[in-house]
Amino acid sequence: MASSSLAAVRLTRRIPFTLAVVGTMLVLGIVTGALWSPFAEHPWFDDVAFGAPALADGRWWTPVTGSFFALSPWEYLPVAGVFLLLVGWAEHRLGTRRAALAACTCQVVGVVGTSLLLALLARTGWAWAVRVGGELDVGFSAGVVGAATVTALSLPAPWRTRVSGAIAVYVLVALAVWGGIADVEHLIGWLTGLAVARPVLGPRLGSRTPTGRRQRDRGAAAGYFAVSALLVVLAGFTSGSTAGPLGTVGSDDWPTGIVAVTVDVVLALGLLRGRRSWWRVAIVLTALGALTETLLLVGGLVLDTPGLPDDVPLYVLSLALDGGALALLLVRRSSFRARRRRGPAAGTRLDQDDARQVLRRLGAGQRLAWMTTWEGNERWSPDDHDGYVAFQLHAGVAVALTDPVGAGPAGRAELVDTFVDAAAAAGVGSCFFSCGPEVAALAADRGWTVVRVAEEAVIDLPGLEFRGKKWQDVRTALNQAAKQGVEHRMVTLADEPPETLAQVRKISEAWLGDSDLPEMAFTLGGVREALDRDVRVGLAVDGDGQVHGVTSWLPVHAPGGDVVGWTLDVMRRAPGSFRYTMELLIASALTTFRDEGALEASLSGSPLAQGAGDDARAPSGVDVVLDRLAATLEPLYGFDSLHRFKLKFQPRSVSLSLVVPEPGTLPLVGLALVRCYLPDVRAKELVAAARSSRGAS
């Protein structure tokens, strides 16, 4: 209780401006009686409230006095509550000076700007402007919207985009659907917030990258059509009950509405991905809309067509909206160059041999780097950078496998940025899966989404000894193996006799067992990868030549080509084999690598291991997909038990992460990862696997 009280005291000290404004609202509400009777009925309402009539009559003080009231008693709770929540958030995050400056500036400009704008529009005879322009209003809502807008722009990605987009949608849709004087104030306050964000925030606003600008262009164009679709949907629910600046919203013509919504949504999705074909369709539609509105304006103003002059303001507004969208699409046409989903362009595709030469020359930036040379991956090398990024393209997302292979940390960082830019230019999303701390830290600095997906178990080999109580299980395994005549052999599998190879294949087939899913891929190799002559294979063999288990180890290269470490890939044992087969295989391999002078060995990550992302971060959509996939596959592949087994070898943990630069691709990343691991699986196989996993649990 004492700690809660102390925290409350600290919070109140952090938001003095917010508390002062809310306190003033409540005190004035009590003094004037506005807390229990409608303020509009008070005799001094006209002297306090702001609006175009107040400015016309010379009541210049009303933008200040009207800010501390609500129109009716019931509105005090939401008015004061929203102010306390949003402006308090702004003050807590930005500090009192910045928050007060943003809120007061946006409030004054929002109120005065609305009065001037409506007074000007009313002169055109526009019925909506005449009606709303004659109203008076009170409240601090324009300042609240502006302060929230500025604060949203101070957030790191992806929350900056999400919160800013939510505010924009609310402001624009509320204006179009309801179109009251407060909605106009919110619009002006929002625009003011966008304008003052740079001087208020300074360096906190962050720098603009080519990828960020391109995504903003695409988001703005897509947002235009998305809001249009939303308005049509809302029209079906409002059924002509409101009349905003666009006229009465509501229609019973559902077939036409469904077609309009479908077209708008498809266009929004296509533009969000930068597709050139949908950009062309959007150009045609907005140009036709602008042309139609221009002809109607000519008919109303020049030809004096009956009935049209009353709708001239509406056509002017519609023309401004379509014209603005058309201008954006034309001026920013370079952001919409994606034609087909073929992954990043403007680079070279490396074959397996070329990639391995580059990997040996530059060295592995991450212990999983050899996996980038496997079949199934494309290896993209930009023309002006040394190195490559291995990726697979699924569900419109280029999934890069582990860290890029590049010339040191600086070279790998450049490859990360170049790959993200090239993918965005090609109209596909991008992410990095199973990347190490280097890329995760780089992503965090850029404000990208980072999701921890596994823990890599790494063992430092120099001085490794199986001594002490913590190594008891390993010593027991080695002793029992010696008693039963089971020995470890480190071999090149491709050079083994056919009967040995046949046993290895049989073990692999038995490992799959009766599962309804095929062998997984991506970061999980099999016998095909173990047959590579650069890969070393450990066999547990008894005196009769029976193979009890098999492991394979991928090389880890230093710059120049020296092998300085090994990474565990295949790890399988035969049914009914020697109990301590896997302990024998791994412990023997570690001592072999240690004696050869290797620096470290990785037992690899435990893919999709439950609990890998046990940080305090709220789960994202990708977390949910990974968790559900893990729950389905755990009884079949045993990731959790594998993770626990590796702990016997006292490894140090290194986080493996999923990095997603653009939050808009998050819904597709989970599907893309499923396809990476199970590229040939069919939907019915996934359903069967889910059923069998429930039965096994």
Is residue 580 within 8 Å of 544, Cβ to Cβ? Answer: no
Q: Picking from 248-252, 391-395, 476-480, which range would have the lowest pLDDT averaged per residue?
A: 248-252
Which of the listed residues 605, 640, 664 is the one where a domain comes to its end? 605
- pLDDT of 67-79, one tens digit each? 999 999 999 999 9
Tokens 């919070």 map to which residue? Answer: 11
DSSP 50: B
Identify which has the larger pLDDT, 218 or 87.
87
Distance of CA 144 to the CA centre of its chain: 27
- pLDDT of 407-425, one tens digit each? 999 999 999 999 998 888 7
Instruction: With residue 460 as reference, give the H or E element that holds it.
Output: strand 449-460
257 and 236, same structural domain?
A: yes
Is residue 175 within 8 Å of 229, Cβ to Cβ? Answer: no
123 and 199, same structural domain?
A: yes
11 and 125, same structural domain?
A: yes
Structure-token pair, residue 117: 């704008």
- Residues with Cβ within 8 Å of residue 495, at least 6 apart in sequence: none
DSSP 341: -
170 and 64, same structural domain?
A: yes
**Highest mean pLDDT of the ranges 5-19, 292-306, 327-341, 389-403:** 389-403
Q: How does DSSP assign 501-518, residue by residue?
A: HHHHHHHHHHHHTT-SS-
Q: Picking from 108-122, 204-218, 443-457, which range would have the lowest pLDDT averaged per residue?
A: 204-218
Identify which has the larger pLDDT, 456 or 232.
456
Q: How many residues belong to the chain?
A: 697
Q: How does DSSP assign 403-451, residue by residue?
A: S-EESHHHHHHHHHHHHHHHHHHTT-EEEEEEE-HHHHHHHHHTT-EEE
501 and 543, same structural domain?
A: yes
Q: Picking from 5-19, 607-621, 664-678, which range would have the lowest pLDDT averaged per residue?
A: 607-621
Distance CA 23, CA 545 (A): 86
Distance CA 31, CA 26 (A): 9
∠ CA 421-422-428, nearest 5°, is 95
Closest Cα to residue 62, out of 76, 72, 47, 52?
A: 47
Residue 85 burial (CB count, 10 A): 13
Closest Cα to residue 335, out of 427, 225, 223, 429?
A: 427
Range of the domain at 322: 218-339
230 and 181, same structural domain?
A: no
Does residue 676 form part of some domain? no
**Residue 292 banded pLDDT, cuts 50, 70, 90:** confident
Number of domains the chain is built from: 3
Q: Picking from 428-442, 468-482, 598-612, which range would have the lowest pLDDT averaged per residue?
A: 598-612
190 and 255, same structural domain?
A: no
Instruction: With residue 252 as reference, give the H or E element that holds it.
Output: none
pLDDT at 115 over 50: yes
Does residue 620 form part of some domain? no
Does residue 617 form part of some domain? no
- pLDDT of 32-58, one tens digit each? 988 989 988 888 899 999 999 999 999
For residue 100, CA distances in Å to 57, 95, 652 come to 29, 8, 49
Does residue 612 form part of some domain? no
Is residue 142 within 8 Å of 189, Cβ to Cβ? Answer: yes
Which of the listed residues 605, 620, 636 is the one where a domain comes to its end? 605
pTM: 0.63
- Residues with Cβ within 8 Å of residue 230, at least 6 apart in sequence: 169, 173
Structure-token pair, residue 586: 């791994």
Task: Give the β-pairing of 547-557 and 536-541.
Answer: antiparallel
Using DSSP, how many helices (H) and how many strands (E) does the chain show? 27, 15
Report the amino acid identity of residue 12. T
- Residues with Cβ within 8 Å of residue 568, at least 6 apart in sequence: 551, 552, 553, 554, 586, 601, 602, 603, 604
Distance CA 151, CA 22 (A): 19
Does residue 689 form part of some domain? no
Domain of residue 510, CATH code: 3.40.630.30
Phi, psi of 420 (to 5 degrees): -60, -45
Phi, psi of 479 (to 5 degrees): -65, -45
281 and 174, same structural domain?
A: no
113 and 202, same structural domain?
A: yes
